[in-house]
Chain A
Amino acid sequence: MNNKKQRGYVSLPGIGDLALSGLRPLIGILLGLIAGAGLIALSGVNPLSAYVAMLKGAFGSPQAFANVLVRASPLLIGGVGVAIGIKAGLWNVGIEGYMYAGAIGAGMVGIAALPVAPIVHIILSFLAAIAFAVVWGLGPAYMKAYRGVNEVVATIMMNYVAIFFTSWMVHEPQPMAEPGSFFPMSRMIAPTAKLPILMKGTSLHPGFIIGLIACVVLYFVLRYTPFGFRTRMLGVNPVGSRYAGVNVRQQMLFVLLIGALMGGVSGAVEILGLKQRVYMDFVAGVGYESVAVALLAGGNPLGVIASALFFSALKAGGATMSIQTGVGGPMTVVIEALCVIFVIGVGYSERKRLERLDVAEKEDKEVEYDVA
């Protein structure tokens, strides 16, 4: 205690000791929900009935849950792309941009009326999305790995470039644009490129399956392959991994490009599965939410599944809550942000606690929050 005072920390008494490693995100989320309840109460609605409406809106019926899964799809895929970066100590905040790039790629191939079977058309669209997104990600990834540029700033700037590039691509003189439309958007994708609907009466598409597979595969890659080992080593100790013979620059490049690839797939899923057109702002912050999803999961790909479902349940349920209780729709966004802020705010005491444990155990559990 004396030690803390001397160092000049402001500590939240009690919470730090409560925040054991597995419980940390849960405590943060709980605090976020409590704070959200306070705000709901302030706006004159009973928070309990608001949250009940939210739960019903997310899990009340198969259709409602299908809606949750639809919203979870881009978060799962984008989130796991950020997560692998976190494990390597890299903050890949560029998902938003990769999603736009991927959507343009998927849109270009998807719009074209190709005389091929639907499955081939869909695969071609995904390949185009991946190619576009990876090329888009190559710039910031190369700059981070080989020129030491801060990847956060570089990827955020590229996000905005991507948004305006998309805006240009769907404005009328461009071949992609829908002729004569009031709102600038691309033409509709061909029926053969559309992802199938899995449940009648909903827009449930196979995107969440792609997301789940991506999470599980990357979990095993991180845990059991040499590539995954090098990635984790880079995150724990970049200098040490260089001495151990890891090609640090190449490893950084690959990790950031995996993030770009995932972002591209995520954008393609949104276009081919749900939106069916490309337009400016179609991502609407999902890329940034992916960062929050990955953070909540502590960079663990399996954790991404849980946190992506949490976020999408909040969003899907929030719409119902808004209709049934009159709480403003944007309240869910505020609750989302509060939850993440509390999770990272509590996270620090977790780190202090872990530092007291022995190093070997720490290496396994520690969540690194520093910007590399």
Chain B
Amino acid sequence: MSPDIIIDWLQASLRWGAPLILVAIGEVYSERSGVINMGIEGIMLFGALAGIAISFFTGNVLLATIGTMILGALFGLAVAFLTVSRKTNQVVTGLMVNLMALGGTNLLFALLSESRHVRVERYPLLFPESFSNIPILGPVLFRQPVSTWVALILPFIAAYILYRTDWGLNVRAVGENPQAAATAGLPVIKLKYQAVILSGLFAALGGCVLTLAEVGYFASGGMTAGRGFVVLAAVVVGGWDPLKTALVCLVFGAADAAQLRMQTAGSVIPYQFLQMLPYLITVIALAGVVGRSRPPKTWGAPYDPADI
């Protein structure tokens, strides 16, 4: 293998890992508050389409990003209303959001047919072109769009907020023992809402990055291709910790990048085995073979103040 291939693969790994990290950060907050937002796959899909559509009509990437995040927050609000207030089953709610997103984006994309396969304005590079000439680091790190750098820095901020601020402590308390948190005077419902809305916001942002950082167009028929579930997997393997989860996302992104290269190049290992890898690792991590991955205590359970 020539160094060029490896450098290209490392660069692609970061690029594919970035959207996963962004989605995962929101999901970590949501799951830490006790709500599994399974709808992130669908919200990502909506985000991918919204990013393209807004960028197509306004030509402004910043506007597209902000608009997409607002849309994502609204979806988060809807999921929060259903799972927290209406206490619907989190799994089924998420699956239905995904189903609706798959149909909805196909419908909306058909309306936007003029933008079909037109490459829209994409995220610019953060560093000037000349940085790309630095050997190895240049192409791998500096020829990355702004979004990759945001995704690399954000996990540290997310970890700080989760472990070092009152709000983070409150969210964790709500996920571990909502009754005790409520007794201590915390607004349990409000905190759950905030965490789930964050997961929607970040999921949409991740979808937006998926399209605006790289391909620049939308493909109907579910272009997120199960990445939302890869994120769910990464959160489990990362033990619900922002930094570890981000690291796992990078590894899964690298597997994704390698798999895409193997499909075209042909290799001894079937590329499908690499595609399976994130899911298999998750099942193994869940089974506790490699260290016990302990979920928040009320993971996936609805909160009812009447329960003690």
Enumerate chain B residues within 8 angstroms of A332, measured Cβ to Cβ.
103
Enumerate chain B residues within 8 angstroms of A43, measured Cβ to Cβ.
107, 111
CB distance from A134 to the nearest CB of B (A): 17
Tell me if A161 and B279 are in contact (CB < 8 A).
Answer: yes
Tell me if A341 and B103 are in contact (CB < 8 A).
Answer: no
Tell me if A340 and B89 are in contact (CB < 8 A).
Answer: no
Tell me if B100 and A334 are in contact (CB < 8 A).
Answer: yes
CB distance from A316 to the nearest CB of B (A): 16
Tell me if A160 and B92 are in contact (CB < 8 A).
Answer: no
CB distance from B60 to the nearest CB of A (A): 26
Q: Is B280 an interface residue (CB 8 A)?
A: yes
Q: Is B282 an interface residue (CB 8 A)?
A: yes
CB distance from B92 to the nearest CB of A (A): 5
Tell me if A337 and B97 are in contact (CB < 8 A).
Answer: yes
Enumerate chain B residues within 8 angstroms of A336, measured Cβ to Cβ.
99, 103
Tell me if B102 and A344 are in contact (CB < 8 A).
Answer: no
Tell me which of B93, B100, B299 has the highest count of chain A C-beta atoms within 10 A of its own C-beta. Answer: B100
CB distance from A133 to the nearest CB of B (A): 17
Tell me if B104 and A161 are in contact (CB < 8 A).
Answer: no
Question: CA of A147 to CA of B289 in the docked complex: distance in angstroms?
Answer: 11
Q: Is B87 an interface residue (CB 8 A)?
A: yes
Using A157-B279, A168-B270 as known contacts, say yes or no to A143 and B87 having CB atoms under 8 A apart: no
Enumerate chain B residues within 8 angstroms of A93, measured Cβ to Cβ.
91, 95
Enumerate chain A residues within 8 angstroms of B286, measured Cβ to Cβ.
143, 149-150, 153-154, 157
Counting from the closest, the 10 A-B pairs by CB-CB distance are A333-B103, A337-B100, A330-B103, A168-B272, A330-B106, A10-B85, A371-B300, A344-B88, A334-B103, A157-B279
Q: Is A345 an interface residue (CB 8 A)?
A: yes
Tell me if A288 and B279 are in contact (CB < 8 A).
Answer: no
**Secondary structure of the B side of the interface?**
helix
Closest to B110 in A: A328
Q: Which of B85, B88, B283 contacts A369 (CB 8 A)?
A: B88
Question: CA of A314 to CA of B307 in the docked complex: distance in angstroms?
Answer: 39
Tell me if A91 and B91 are in contact (CB < 8 A).
Answer: yes
CB distance from B86 to the nearest CB of A (A): 5
Q: Is B96 an interface residue (CB 8 A)?
A: yes
CB distance from A326 to the nearest CB of B (A): 11
Q: Is A38 an interface residue (CB 8 A)?
A: no
Closest to A160 in B: B279
CB distance from B56 to the nearest CB of A (A): 19
Q: Is B226 an interface residue (CB 8 A)?
A: yes
Enumerate chain A residues within 8 angstroms of B99, measured Cβ to Cβ.
285, 288-289, 292, 333, 336-337
Closest to B295 in A: A150
Question: CA of A371 to CA of B86 in the docked complex: distance in angstroms?
Answer: 15
Interface residues of A in 150-201 (CB under 8 A from B): 150, 152-154, 156-158, 160-161, 164-165, 167-168, 171
Interface residues on chain A, number (Cβ under 8 Å): 52
Tell me which of A157, A289, A348, A369 has the highest count of chain B C-beta atoms within 10 A of its own C-beta. Answer: A157
Question: CA of A337 to CA of B96 in the docked complex: distance in angstroms?
Answer: 5
Question: CA of A344 to CA of B89 in the docked complex: distance in angstroms?
Answer: 8
Closest to B274 in A: A164
Tell me if B107 and A331 are in contact (CB < 8 A).
Answer: yes
Q: Is A370 an interface residue (CB 8 A)?
A: yes
Q: Kindly supply a per-residue 1/0 record for chain B positions 102-136, scoring 1 wherever the CB is within 8 Å of any chain A CB and 0 otherwise.
A: 11101100110000000000000000000000000
Beyond contacts A150-B300, A292-B96, A348-B87: 13 other A-B pairs, Cβ-Cβ < 8 A, are: A10-B86, A140-B283, A143-B286, A157-B280, A157-B282, A157-B283, A295-B92, A333-B99, A334-B103, A340-B96, A344-B88, A369-B87, A369-B302
Closest to A335 in B: B103
Question: CA of A168 to CA of B104 in the docked complex: distance in angstroms?
Answer: 30
Q: Is B167 an interface residue (CB 8 A)?
A: no
Q: Is B159 an interface residue (CB 8 A)?
A: no
Closest to A174 in B: B270
A-B contact pairs, 7 of them (CB 8 A): A9-B85, A152-B36, A161-B280, A164-B276, A291-B91, A341-B82, A370-B302
Q: Is B179 an interface residue (CB 8 A)?
A: no
Q: Kindly supply a per-residue 1/0 record for chain B positions 269-285, scoring 1 wherever the CB is within 8 Å of any chain A CB and 0 otherwise.
A: 01011011001101100
